[in-house]
Structure 1
Amino acid sequence: MIDDISIRSAESEDAKELLKIYAYYVTDTAISFETEVPSEEEFKLRIEEVLKSYPFIVACKDDEILGYAYLHSFVGRKAYELSAETTIYLNPDKKKMGIGKKLYSVLEDIAKAQNITNLYSCIGYVDKEDEYLNNNSAQFHEHIGFRMVGKFENCGHKFGRWYHMVWMEKIIGEHKEIKEFLKYSNIKSF
């Protein structure tokens, strides 16, 4: 199954299909702390904004989009430009099939080509699982080499409940002097 999955760059025309995946995480889970599903136009703009400097990739089998992942600015200050935050969402019916690992592998290769050294992920977290959130995302990130570096107690409120948020980090490059940050548009192969 995983060998049949291809990875390609997202296009703004994918917004409708990608939004279908993301909407579930907004309306039915506390995985996203967003409380309202963005419009298709807003989601399209988000994709286009990411693609100006970072990869936004999708996993496909035939013509079906199974999930997506992207990098985006970490904190948004110049000194952080060699660090990036990761985001990943899979079709809820396509989990535990190796798709997330494949997406992250490609994302990391692109990040390395951009001279990014540190990857971060902001993840909803619970002490006790409920119907809206478990710690599978943190466990997945740990499995692929991320480590927990911080926890914010009860900082997200959704579905009438309080949820924690954790930061996880993965060092993927050597910390040396870099003269130029490579924009995603300069990275063509993955």
Structure 2
Amino acid sequence: MSKMDLKIRIRPAKPEDAEKLLAIYAPYVEQTAITFEYEVPTVEEFCERIHNTLKKYPYLVAEQGEEPVGYAYVGPFHDRPAYDWAVETSIYVYQNKKRMGIGKKLHEALEEELRNRGFLNMNACIAYPVQEDEYLTRNSVEFHAHLGYRMVGQFHQCGYKFHRWYDMVWMEKLIGEHTADQQQPRF
């Protein structure tokens, strides 16, 4: 199926989506170093994660027909109030639906929602291979660069998974005007 044939609807997530969204996430935990989580969370734990995120931040689902094919959400960049305008982003797409434009649609909707709420900085913490392997490539960095992010930092050999060490990089995208009398974002 080409990008042109793909009819995607973006909607807010609900805690009741946990089981279907966990089905998207689980292979990332079990088969990749994209997330450094070792164990797949339970449906109940995943439901609680969605619920807690929605208290302050957007959590979006991409659907094809009635079936979720991806999701995106943000969390705090840091927990101190001076960082309230910055968020850390996460995007996951069914592995067999990658490179169809779903991640881009999710990001565009997420960016618009964040901008409308008064957030200014989108930050992505990305696992980065010292050398590409079967668990991790540089695709996520390339995806974010394509969306307008720039590299701002790299931590070396700080993540360990599948008996290998991986780097971590931070990328950022500024999405709003930074002023001296900044209005508080709308949580």
Classify the TM-score, shorter chain: over 0.9
| 1:119 aligned onto 2:125 | no
Residue 149 of structure 2 corresponds to 146
Aligned residue in 1 for 2:186: 182
Return the alpha-carbon distance in structure 1 between the equivalents of residues 93 and 65 of structure 2. 16
Q: Cα offset for 1:178? A: 2.3
CA distance in 2 between counterparts of 1:64 and 1:179 reads 37
State yes or no: 1:172 paired with 2:175. Answer: yes
Pick from 42, 47, 52 the counterpart of residue 49 of structure 1: 52
Amino acid at match of 1:174: E
TM-score by length of 1: 0.94
Letter of the 2:133 counterpart:
D
| Structure 1 position 128 matched with structure 2 position 131 | yes
Of 62, 67, 70 in structure 1, the residue corresponding to residue 65 of structure 2 is 62
Q: What is the aligned-residue identity percentage?
A: 51
Unaligned 5+ residue runs, structure 1?
Answer: 184-190
**Alignment of structure 1 residues 65-144 onto 2, 5 Å:** 65-144=68-147
Deviations 1:93-124 (A, max 9, x none): 00000111100000000110111111100000
Where structure 2 has 5 or more consecutive residues not aligned to the other structure, the ranges are: none
Count matched residues.
183
8 Å CA contact 2:118–2:183 kept in 1: the answer is no
Alignment deviations for residues 60-95 of structure 1 (CA, whole Å, 9 cap, x no partner): 011111100011111111000011110000000000
SS state of the match for residue 79, structure 1? helix
Which letter maps to 1:78?
P
2:160 to 147, 152, 157: 157
Q: How far apart are 1:179 and its partner, in Å? A: 3.2
> SS of the counterpart of 1:153?
strand
Please name the residue that 1:34 is paired with.
37
| Counterpart-to-counterpart distance in 1, 2:36 and 2:184 | 34
Structure 1 counterpart of 2:74, one-letter code: L
Checking the alignment, whether the CA contact within 8 Å between 2:85 and 2:184 is kept in structure 1 is: no
**1:44 Cα shift?**
0.3
RMSD: 1.0
Per-residue deviation, residues 113-151 of structure 1 (Å, max 9, x unmatched): 111111100000013110100000010000000011000
SS in 2 for 1:179: coil
Amino acid in the other structure paired with 1:102: K
Q: Give the structure 2 partner of residue 9 of structure 1.
A: 12
